[in-house]
Structure formats: C-alpha cells, structure tokens
Amino acid sequence: MPGYRIVFVCLGNICRSPMAEVVFRSLLEDAGLADRVAVSSAGTGEWHVGEGVDRRAMRALHARGYDASAHRARQFAHDWFDQHDLVLALDSANLATLRRLAPSPLATEKVRLLRSYDAEAVRRGDLDVPDPHYGGPDGFGRVLDLLERACRGLLVEVRREVAP
C-alpha cells in the first residue's frame, strides 16, 4: 500500500476533484511513483454521492486520453484528515470548509489549494479552479488545462516527499 496519501476535494466530487485525481494518477504512473502515492477525491457536499463523473468532464478527460469511468462520488469525512498526508481543495470556498472541519491544527496544515502548486497561478493570485458544472462544455477543457498545470507542479513537490 502506498505510504503517501492525497485527496482532492471540490464541492460535489463529479467535476473538478475527480478530474484532478485522474490527471494526477496518470502523472504518478508516468513518473513511476504510483506504488508510493495513493490518490483519491471527494466532495464537501453530499448531493452527488454514488454518481459518476459529469458527462462533460468525462468527455474532456477522454479527449486527452484519461479514463474516469470507475469514479463514484464520495463525501469528505472528518477521519480522512488522519488518513491523508495532503488534502487539496480546488477553490477557496472548499478550502474554508475543510479548514472548519479540521479537528486539529495539524490537520489544518494538511489543507492547501491545488493551484498553489502552479507558479503562474500564484504569481497572478488566481488560485481557484472555477466550477464548470453550471457553464458550457468549453469550461471543462479550460478546467482541465488548469488542473494539468497544477498537478505537474504538485508532482515536483510529491517527488521530494516520496523519493528514496
């Protein structure tokens, strides 16, 4: 079982967080680190528990060679802070929710914004991944662009954590 655990968190766990999970898992596999890092995703809300990925997100992922067909939405639970080394929120609203849920200062330290690993986003002060759910299909491709960039930055940091 991998020793380092990451969970991506958005609101409903049918768009952004499963997209980030799939992208990052692919990067880990390409880097030969999939056996050292476990990746999952969840939502802060319960509305979509048990559902698959939004079909527009699925199309955007499929167009770039990713497969999210096995995903089923889950809700983030309090005890997940103990089970994960890094809790990555996709936007500031979910970041605030996760920090409120954190049972201790140590748990709070595990919570970060995913785009804080994207140097360009940090420079611009634009750290939220917008929610494409209520927009058109083009929003999912844009979100995927943001996720791929942030996940590449995250990989650099994770490699330092799990390097032999």
pLDDT in tens, the chain (164 residues): 678 999 999 999 999 999 999 999 999 999 999 999 999 999 999 988 988 899 999 999 999 999 999 999 999 998 999 999 999 999 999 999 999 999 999 999 999 999 999 999 999 999 999 999 888 778 999 999 999 999 999 999 999 999 76
Are residues 61 and 22 in contact, defined by beta-carbon separation less than 8 angstroms? yes
- Strand locations in 19-115 (E): 37-43, 86-89, 111-113
Question: Which of the residues 10, 91, 128, 151 is marked catalytic?
Answer: 10
How much is the pLDDT for 136? 77
How much is the pLDDT for 31? 96
Question: Which of the residues 54, 118, 128, 131 is marked catalytic?
Answer: 131
Query: CA 18, CA 127: separation in Å to the nearest integer?
Result: 18
How much is the pLDDT for 138? 85
H-type alpha helices, 5-70: 16-31, 55-63
Q: Is 145 a catalytic residue?
A: no
How much is the pLDDT for 133? 85
3-state secondary structure of 8: strand
Rg (CA), the chain: 15
